[in-house]
Amino acid sequence: MLTDILTPPTLRQPQPVLNFDQARALGDQHGTPLLVVSRSRVIETYRTMRENLPGVELFYAAKANPDPHILKVLCEEGCSVDVCSYGELQAALQAGFTPESMLHTHPCKTDRNLLDCYAEGVRWFVYDNPAELDKIARLTPDVNLLLRLAVSADSSMINLSAKFGAELSSAIEMLLEARHRGLNVRGFSFHVGSQCLNPGDYEAALAGVRRVWDEALRLGFELEVLDIGGGFPAPYRDDRLMLLAEFCQTVSRGLQATFGDLPVRLIAEPGRGLCAESVTLITRVIGKSVRSGTAWYFIDDGLYGSFSGKAFDHTDFQLLADNPFGLPTSPCVVAGPTCDSSDVVSRDQLLPELNIGDLLLVPTMGAYTGASACPFNGLPVASSVAID
């Protein structure tokens, strides 16, 4: 409709990066299941974040999706990268990132992880406990450290302070522990939790961090880096989120209100927010049945594959069927390809009658999907292809 063209969108909903004709052509060429990465969508999202988080350096959290297509585009755009392991570091190196543009954010590393990443040239690491400081002092004492702090954020779907992060009340003690070992703490990091739905949560967390920062300055610590982590959300099934630009502007105002008076190097580590919407899954119906009067469709990807985000990441994905003539839809069960009965992708979405060989498109498939997939049952995980 003309009004759709003239009116800019005001809400973020799941949108595929390709249509069914393109999907059929790519499916025939590459096979399914297939994760399709839109380079232009990655670039657009990256630039939106850059423009609306002025003064904040973006370190893409490779854990969300270390797909070489995504890493390469972001590297070419001038993004930096957050890695947690030697494997993520290698993926980033192959995409063109240099060790100087990497921040290692795992607060509890194995000796091997620490030593291998250090040997490649990474010099920025994160800690949140004294035992990690012992490790760092023993193996790599000349690195720059950020102290990860735990913060609470009510609106986030995944609490990333449940496992990592020193309590704000113990932050000074953690700084003193580092000083005692002769280690160099250069700032703080925190994570409001993944899929944060209220950008105001950042300001609340920042206010607490600022109190600790001021106390640290009084004690003579020379802090210069503030890392606000990830958390930037993406639209999943039935979501109507505020636009990414608006979300970032609110975070930016929170930064200004809490740290605007200090000469701080600001960093963010967006994972999901940068990559989720840039990928659409093409999956194919491989079987069908009727059980107790309900249609069941079996597809070639499932909970052990690209839909692993449903199990680990608490996300629910929108399934789209090609229905140009508006055929009636009805409730059905859509199940993955493995022998596990729990491998069910959806029990409550309305779809038209499907036939074996039909394709489904699944938008917002870029974060914590292929990254956490495994080849259970000897079934290969989805491959990926990039389009412009």
Ligand X SMILES: Cc1ncc(COP(=O)(O)O)c(C=O)c1O
Q: Measure the CA–CA gap between 106 and 85, rounded to whole angstroms.
A: 8
Angle between helices 200-218 and 244-259 (to 10 degrees): 30
66, 99, 270, 302: which one contacts ligand X (CB under 6 A)? 270
User: What residues between 36 and 65 interact with ligand X by CB under 6 A?
Assistant: 61, 63-64
52, 113, 129, 194: which one contacts ligand X (CB under 6 A)? 194
- Of 20 and 125, the one with the shorter C-beta distance to ligand X is 125
- Of 86 and 232, the one with the shorter C-beta distance to ligand X is 232
CB of 202 to ligand X, least distance (A): 12
Strands 80-83 and 102-104: parallel
User: What residues between 340 and 379 interact with ligand X by CB under 6 A?
Assistant: 367
**Alpha carbon of 258 to those of 204, 213, 230: distances in Å?**
9, 11, 18
# binding residues, ligand X (CB under 6 A): 18
Catalytic residue, candidates 75, 196, 339, 374: 339
Instruction: Report how many helices (DSSP H) and strands (DSSP E) the chain contains, helices first.
Output: 12, 20
271, 336, 366, 370: which one contacts ligand X (CB under 6 A)? 271
User: In the annotation, is 117 catalytic?
Assistant: no
Tokens of 157: 């779907």
Asked if 235 is part of the footprint of ligand X (rule: CB under 6 A), the reply reads: no
Return the beta strands (E) in 204-273 as ranges: 225-227, 241-242, 265-268
Asked if 269 is part of the footprint of ligand X (rule: CB under 6 A), the reply reads: yes
User: What residues between 149 and 188 interact with ligand X by CB under 6 A?
Assistant: 160
Asked if 93 is part of the footprint of ligand X (rule: CB under 6 A), the reply reads: no
199, 230, 309, 336: which one contacts ligand X (CB under 6 A)? 230
- Of 194 and 384, the one with the shorter C-beta distance to ligand X is 194
User: What residues between 100 and 139 interact with ligand X by CB under 6 A?
Assistant: 105
Cα dihedral value 88, 105, 367, 268, nearest 10: -130
Asked if 231 is part of the footprint of ligand X (rule: CB under 6 A), the reply reads: yes
User: What residues between 62 and 91 interact with ligand X by CB under 6 A?
Assistant: 63-64, 82
- Whose CB is nearest to ligand X? 230
Is the preceding omega at residue 263 within 30 degrees of 0, hence cis? no
Nearest Cα neighbor of 16 from 8, 26, 7 is 26
Nearest Cα neighbor of 183 from 147, 149, 141 is 141
Nearest Cα neighbor of 320 from 25, 13, 6 is 13
CB of 234 to ligand X, least distance (A): 9
Strands 241-242 and 11-12: antiparallel
Asked if 199 is part of the footprint of ligand X (rule: CB under 6 A), the reply reads: no
Length, in residues, of the chain: 388
Q: What count of Cα atoms within 13 Å lies in the side-chain half-sphere of residue 357?
A: 1
- Give the binding site for ligand X (CB under 6 A): 61, 63-64, 82, 105, 160, 191, 194, 229-232, 269-273, 367
Q: Where in the sequence numbering do the catalytic residues fall?
A: 339
